[in-house]
Structures are given as structure tokens and as C-alpha cells.
């Protein structure tokens, strides 16, 4: 969209969409959330808690928890794994960072990780306000819906190609939406909260240049910004109520060269984006899962040994190539999780890409590194056209005898079209939670999470999370069955 006048015309045509979204958020009630959507959100809660508990065992998760403890503030909300309460803003900074600390949390084809910031806000602010189960459910639904819609309206592929990390840029508004429901803000005040949140949006992809920890922080910082925005709006601090569509400085037009503002409110209240939440069986970037599944399927079906394979070629979308197709440097756990080449190579050797495959020791093992550095990547036109509506991937093995075997996966395990069942999510949670706090404590937290949307408040779950004792351990646990 090079024509500035066309751009301005598009902005004028959609003037008022931020306030329309705010009206939806302010009016949302638990009974409006379809049963299937509630079930998805319940699964997301459990998955997110497992990721967060495990994240507290990582260096970056521990650093942020200690920082939040030092900053403290009023004793409003549980600081997970610290045996203490801190301000809501500091609580969500820590838990949001922990949840995203191993890149194992839920995501969507809008290229976002909603659970990592929506769940911390729902639990922490819900604890402070004594919110009931219906309010907690409505708040979580509002956060997921807002984040997905803002990202889709910005056009996630085009936004990503400009270097933005959408979890950071769209997350502030999702956090503000969830907080606005818990604080029971009216539509005008909710629009103000969205405006204050949007003006704090940030998150850049530069972490892949050197494996910096900033990606881990983006959900925590977004959650913190969104909570502060809603609390300020409630006090009368006014934010820009055209934050998404303003001609000059609107977020959608600032983030993307091809925004789609109409998608923000298209079928609002009828299409529930939470239904399209994706869960991860592999501890790696979601855009790589199709190729991981394809490589695993080829290895299983043909009973290959790695030594049987002469060449490996991965076919992916151009955006994925920019994001994860970089040369593997074996310089950090983060870059190993993001690297398509490493993900395929370690899956071929180990038959999985779980916790054990992303330790400081494993990511530098010479045989895996050598294979990763030999893997070829090409842009597949069909996959490229379908992305991000379909997170597809294709892997071809050329054997030493000269035969070629190819597997193409459109819907990897955990996508809505190939979902992980509730029992699988619970097993994943227990694998992560038990590794972090022991089986007994993990099971107690799971039971409390399963009751959250049915009765009571967030207080019992918050207390368990606060008092959970984090075990000193190295990453590693039993892989998921199946």
C-alpha cells in the first residue's frame, strides 16, 4: 500500500473499530463463550501453567522472578515459586516471562503466544480483585480474542517481515482487554485502556542475531503494560481511543505495510479465535513443527538410521525461512529452539524435540551440529502461498543408495485440525510441572486449574503457585507418549 492517500482512506473507512472492539470486551459475559471455546481455554490454562512452572527453572525465568521480588510493591498477587506476594504488575512480569521461557507455550496462526500474557493477567488481577470463575473465563476469552484479532488486522506475515515480534506488539492490548473485564470497565474506559496499552506496544526480532533473552521477556512486559493501562484508565487517565486505526500513528498502520483493519471486528462475537489455538508437542518454534513431524514420520515409516541419509531438504514458506531458516550456529538454547535445521537434525537423531533436546550440552553435540549445518532449505511455492493460514512443511530424504523419500505435513500435531486431546495436554503439563516442582505439587496445581472456571476464585490456585518450591534441575523429562 504505497499510496498515502489510499492508506488514509482505509483508515477513515474503519474509524471506530477500536471502540467497537472495546464495546465487545466490556459487554462480554461467561455465558457468551461457547462450550467448545471454554474447553479450549481450559486446556490452554493447564498448558500455560506447565510451561510457566518449568520456565521458572531456566536462568532467564529465575532472573525475572528475582527481579520482580526485589521490586515487590504492594502484596496484591502471587509471585510464582517465590513464597511471596508482590504487585500485580510485577507478578505478571515474572510469570509472563516464565511461561515463554522455553518456547513451549500455546500459539496461533496469527503468529502470537496468547496464553503467556493473558493467563498471568487473569490470575494475578483476578486474585487481587477476588473475581469469580465466570469473570475469569470472560477475561481470558477477551484476551485471546483481542490478541488474535489485532494480529490478524495488522497482517501477521507482513508485520513479521518488518521485524516485529507480534507477541510483544499485540500482547499489550490483550492484557488490557483481560484486565478491563476483571476491573468491570465500561466500553469508553476499556477503549481508553486499549489506547494506553497500544501506545506501549513493543517487541523486536533482533534476539536471533545473538540469542539474547529479550524474546522470553516480551509476554511478561506486555502483560505488565496492559495491566498498568487498565488500572490507569480506571483512574481516569485517558488513552487514545483510535489507537488501532488512527491515520497518524495508528498501531495497525505503524506495524504493517499491508494492514487489514476490517478483520479486527469481522464476525465479532460469532467467530471465536481461541478455537484455533495451537498447542505444542515439540519445544521449538511453532512454524517448524510441520517439518519436525515430517522428519519423524519418515524416520519411523522407513526405519531409517541417520547414517542412511545422504541429504536432507526442507521445503517451507518464505516467512519461515526468514524467521527460522538461518545457519545453525550452536550458540544458545534460544537459537536452537528457533533453528529449523537444528530441530530437524535433533529429531532425526533422538526421535523427538522435547526438553532433553534443548540443553546447553545437547545443542553443541558434534554429530547433531554437523547434520544441522548440512540441511538444505528451499522455498516451496505451494506452502508459501498457504502460509500462515496453513503452517505447512515438507522434508525430503535422499538416501545413500540414491532413493528420495518425501513427506509433506499441512497440519502438525497440536494444530486445530490435528489437535492434542485434553489427556495429552495434561501429560505434557505433568511432565513439565513435575520436573519443576515435583509430582505431588504439580498434581495439586492441576486439580486447582481444572476447577478454576467452575467455581470459586483464583485464590486457591494462586496460593499453590506462590508456595510451589522450584527444584534445582537441568532441563529434561520423559517425552510425551504418542
Distances (CA, A) of 400 to 142, 325, 348, 389, 446: 53, 25, 16, 36, 48
- Regarding whether 338 and 263 lie in a shared domain, the answer is no
How confident is the prediction for the chain on average, in pLDDT?
A: 94
- Regarding whether 319 and 216 lie in a shared domain, the answer is no
Sort residue 414 into left (φ over 0), alpha (ψ -120 to 50) or beta: left
- Name the residue among 358, 86, 97, 353 with its Cα closest to residue 217: 97
pLDDT tier, 10 (very low <50, low <70, confident <90, very high otherwise): confident
Q: Please give the Cα distance from 261 to 243 (Å, whole number).
A: 12
Number of compact structural domains in the chain: 2
235-238 contact pairs (CB < 8 A, 24+): 237/192, 237/196, 238/192, 238/195
Cell numbers describing residue 384: 508459501
pLDDT tier, 345 (very low <50, low <70, confident <90, very high otherwise): very high
Answer whether residue 14 shows pLDDT above 50.
yes
pLDDT tier, 170 (very low <50, low <70, confident <90, very high otherwise): very high
- Regarding whether 294 and 267 lie in a shared domain, the answer is no
DSSP-derived secondary structure letter, 112: B
CATH of the domain at 354: 3.30.1330.120
Answer yes or no: is 433 within a domain: no
Answer yes or no: is 426 within a domain: no
Phi, psi of 143 (to 5 degrees): -65, -45
SS3 assignment, position 107: strand
- Regarding whether 151 and 35 lie in a shared domain, the answer is yes
Answer yes or no: is 181 within a domain: yes
- Regarding whether 313 and 179 lie in a shared domain, the answer is no
pLDDT tier, 2 (very low <50, low <70, confident <90, very high otherwise): low
Average pLDDT over residues 171-180: 98
- Regarding whether 11 and 122 lie in a shared domain, the answer is yes
* % of the chain beyond a pLDDT of 90: 88
CATH of the domain at 203: 1.10.4100.10
Block residue for cell numbers 505433568: 430
Cβ neighbours, 10 Å, residue 351:
14
Per-residue pLDDT at 473: 65
Residue with the larger pLDDT of the pair 476 and 8: 8
Please say whether the dihedral angle defined by the alpha carbons of residues 407, 408, 411 and 412, taken in this order, is positive or negative.
positive
Average pLDDT over residues 43-63: 97
Answer whether residue 189 shows pLDDT above 70.
yes
Per-residue pLDDT at 469: 96
Average pLDDT over residues 160-177: 95
Distances (CA, A) of 32 to 189, 261, 267: 21, 24, 14
Per-residue pLDDT at 167: 96
Average pLDDT over residues 447-464: 95
Count how many residues are written for the chain.
482
Q: Among 276, 304, 338, give the residue marking a domain's end.
A: 276
Helices 214-234 and 187-198, packing angle to 10 deg: 150
Residue range(s) defining the domain that contains residue 241: 4-276
Answer yes or no: is 447 within a domain: no
How do residues 359-374 score in pLDDT, each as one tens digit? Answer: 999 999 999 999 999 9
Per-residue pLDDT at 208: 82
CA 413 to chain centre: 16
Average pLDDT over residues 39-54: 98
Cβ neighbors of 257 (< 8 A, separation 6 or more) are 1, 158, 162
- Regarding whether 336 and 272 lie in a shared domain, the answer is no
Q: Among 276, 298, 327, give the residue marking a domain's end.
A: 276
Phi, psi of 404 (to 5 degrees): -120, 130
Q: Please give the Cα distance from 151 to 167 (Å, whole number).
A: 9
- Regarding whether 102 and 32 lie in a shared domain, the answer is yes
Answer yes or no: is 300 within a domain: yes
How do residues 388-398 score in pLDDT, each as one tens digit? Answer: 889 999 999 99
How do residues 270-296 score in pLDDT, each as one tens digit? Answer: 999 999 999 999 999 999 999 999 999
Answer whether residue 119 shows pLDDT above 90.
yes
- Name the residue among 297, 299, 290 with its Cα closest to residue 380: 290
Distances (CA, A) of 189 to 2, 52, 141, 175, 227: 34, 31, 19, 15, 13
Q: What is the CA radius of gyration of the chain?
A: 22
Per-residue pLDDT at 481: 33
Count Cβ atoms within 10 A of the Cβ of residue 50 and give its class: 0-12 exposed, 13-18 middle, 19 or more buried. Answer: buried
Answer yes or no: is 445 within a domain: no
pLDDT tier, 482 (very low <50, low <70, confident <90, very high otherwise): very low
- Regarding whether 265 and 322 lie in a shared domain, the answer is no
Per-residue pLDDT at 480: 36
- Regarding whether 228 and 97 lie in a shared domain, the answer is yes
pLDDT tier, 477 (very low <50, low <70, confident <90, very high otherwise): very low
- Regarding whether 335 and 269 lie in a shared domain, the answer is no
Q: Among 359, 385, 409, give the residue marking a domain's end.
A: 409
Answer yes or no: is 425 within a domain: no
pLDDT tier, 3 (very low <50, low <70, confident <90, very high otherwise): low
- Regarding whether 340 and 229 lie in a shared domain, the answer is no
Average pLDDT over residues 103-129: 97
Answer yes or no: is 450 within a domain: no
Amino acid at each position: 500500500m504505497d499510496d498515502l492517500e489510499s492508506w488514509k482512506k482505509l483508515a477513515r473507512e474503519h474509524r471506530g473499530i477500536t471502540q467497537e472492539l472495546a464495546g465487545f470486551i466490556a459487554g462480554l459475559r461467561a455465558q457468551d463463550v461457547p462450550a467448545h471455546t471454554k474447553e479450549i481455554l481450559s486446556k490452554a490454562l493447564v498448558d500455560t501453567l506447565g510451561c510457566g512452572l518449568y520456565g521458572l527453572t531456566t536462568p532467564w525465568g529465575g532472573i525475572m522472578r528475582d527481579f520482580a521480588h526485589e521490586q515487590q510493591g504492594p502484596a496484591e498477587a502471587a509471585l510464582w515459586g517465590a513464597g511471596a506476594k508482590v504487585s500485580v504488575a510485577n507478578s505478571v512480569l515474572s510469570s509472563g516471562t516464565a511461561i515463554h521461557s522455553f518456547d513451549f507455550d500455546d500459539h496461533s496462526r496469527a503468529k502470537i503466544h496468547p496464553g503467556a500474557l493473558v493467563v498471568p493477567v487473569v490470575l494475578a488481577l483476578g486474585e487481587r480483585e477476588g473475581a469469580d470463575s465466570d469473570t475469569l473465563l470472560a477475561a481470558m476469552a477477551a484476551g485471546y480474542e483481542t490478541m488474535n484479532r489485532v494480529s490478524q488486522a495488522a497482517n501477521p506475515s507482513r508485520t513479521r517481515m518488518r521485524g516485529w515480534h507480534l507477541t510483544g506488539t499485540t500482547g499489550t492490548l490483550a492484557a488490557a482487554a483481560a484486565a478491563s473485564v476483571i476491573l468491570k470497565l465500561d466500553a469508553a474506559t476499556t477503549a481508553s485502556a486499549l489506547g494506553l496499552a497500544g501506545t506501549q506496544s513493543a517487541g523486536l526480532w533482533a534476539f536471533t542475531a545473538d540469542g539474547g533473552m529479550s524474546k522470553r521477556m516480551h509476554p511478561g512486559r506486555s502483560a505488565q503494560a496492559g495491566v498498568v493501562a487498565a488500572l490507569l484508565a480506571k483512574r481516569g487517565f485517558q488513552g487514545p481511543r483510535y489507537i488501532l486505526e488512527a491515520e497518524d500513528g495508528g498501531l495497525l498502520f505503524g506495524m504493517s505495510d499491508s494492514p487489514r483493519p476490517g478483520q479486527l471486528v469481522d464476525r465479532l462475537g460469532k467467530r471465536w479465535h481461541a478455537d484455533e489455538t495451537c498447542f505444542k508437542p515439540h519445544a521449538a518454534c511453532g512454524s517448524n513443527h510441520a517439518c519436525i513431524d515430517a522428519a519423524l514420520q519418515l524416520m519411523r515409516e522407513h526405519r531409517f538410521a541417520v547414517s542412511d541419509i545422504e541429504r536432507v531438504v526442507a521445503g517451507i514458506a518464505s516467512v519461515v525461512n526468514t524467521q527460522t531458516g538461518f545457519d545453525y550456529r550452536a550458540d544458545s538454547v534460544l537459537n536452537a529452539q528457533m533453528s529449523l535445521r537444528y530441530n530437524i537434525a535433533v529429531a532425526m537423531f533422538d526421535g523427538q524435540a522435547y526438553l532433553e533436546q534443548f540443553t546447553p550440552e545437547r545443542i553443541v553435540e558434534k554429530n547433531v551440529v554437523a547434520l544441522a549445518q548440512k540441511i538444505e532449505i528451499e522455498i516451496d511455492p505451494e506452502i508459501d502461498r498457504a502460509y500462515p493460514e496453513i503452517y505447512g512443511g515438507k522434508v525430503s530424504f535422499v538416501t545413500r543408495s540414491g532413493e528420495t523419500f518425501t513427506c509433506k505435513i499441512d497440519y502438525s500435531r497440536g494444530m486445530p485440525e490435528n489437535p492434542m486431546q485434553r489427556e495429552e495436554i495434561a501429560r505434557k503439563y505433568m511432565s513439565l510441572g513435575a520436573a519443576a516442582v515435583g509430582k505431588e505439587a504439580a498434581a495439586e496445581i492441576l486439580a486447582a486449574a481444572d476447577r478454576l472456571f467452575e467455581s470459586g476464585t483464583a485464590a486457591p490456585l494462586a496460593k499453590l503457585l506462590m508456595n510451589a518450591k522450584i527444584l534445582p534441575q537441568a532441563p529434561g523429562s520423559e517425552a510425551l507418549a504418542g
